[in-house]
Structure 1
Amino acid sequence: MTVSTAHSTGGWSVVREPAPEAPSAVFEMECTTCCHSSGATEDPQAAQAWAVRHATASPAHTGFREIVHRFWRALPADRGVGEG
């Protein structure tokens, strides 16, 4: 298995999304006090900056969870990643 392959079994592999337009990851910060969030962004620093602004505006809101979405695709093992 390569680094971009998470699991392979039964003639199928799960691989990082090969589409060139797909982001490698999408980041979001969510306040654990009120559940407001930064919204999804490809820039992790933008999500973190939102958390700082949120804590500044609401000093009792100091806990956050980071949500990271990575994109994967299941492909038959006999099909190459570049064969779309």
Structure 2
Amino acid sequence: MAAGVGALSPRSVSRYLAWRIRPESAENTEPKIHQFACTSCPTDSLEGTGVASEDFESARGWIYLHLAKFPEHTGYRESVTRHWRADLLPGPVPATMPVAPRVLP
């Protein structure tokens, strides 16, 4: 490998970094989005996918509409889109914390 970005050398230092990973809580964060899909319909079917909504009950309500048309379709899958934040924690890595290695130049 050529010297440069990402190249390891005898002077490289490896250390572990502690990260806290949590749902995003900033005020300007996009809201969580719920969407349901019928597991009996083909995956590329528009009719088998409900509307995406910030409101869980509105998203879930689509299932009842779908059941009215297809009473034999009884399996559904929920997809949730939620934004997450990773913060680098200062100080040493606690022994019980999952860590991500990072090679420093």
TM-score bin (small chain): 0.5 to 0.7
1:22 offset after TM fit, Å?
2.1
Gaps of 5+ in 2: 1-15, 91-105
Aligned pairs for 1:1-84 (under 5 A) are: 10-23=17-30, 25-34=32-41, 35=43, 36-78=48-90
Gaps of 5+ in 1: 1-8, 79-84
> Given that residues 23 and 42 in structure 1 are in contact (C-alpha distance below 8 angstroms), is that contact kept between their aligned partners in structure 2?
no
RMSD: 2.0
Once the two structures are superposed, residues 24-71 of structure 1 have per-residue CA deviations (whole angstroms, 9 ceiling, x without a partner) of 522111101114211321111011110100110122222111222322
TM-score, length basis structure 2: 0.56
Aligned-partner Cα distance in 1 for 2:36–2:53:
10
Whichever of the two has the greater Rg, that structure is 2
> Given that residues 51 and 62 in structure 2 are in contact (C-alpha distance below 8 angstroms), is that contact kept between their aligned partners in structure 1?
no
Of the two structures, which has the highest relative contact order with CA contacts closer than 8 Å and spacing of 6 or more?
A: 2
Give the length in aligned residue pairs: 70
**Kindly, what percent of the aligned residue pairs are identical?**
33
Aligned-partner Cα distance in 2 for 1:68–1:25:
7
Name segments (4+ residues, structure 1) moved above 4 Å. Answer: none
Aligned-partner Cα distance in 2 for 1:60–1:23:
35
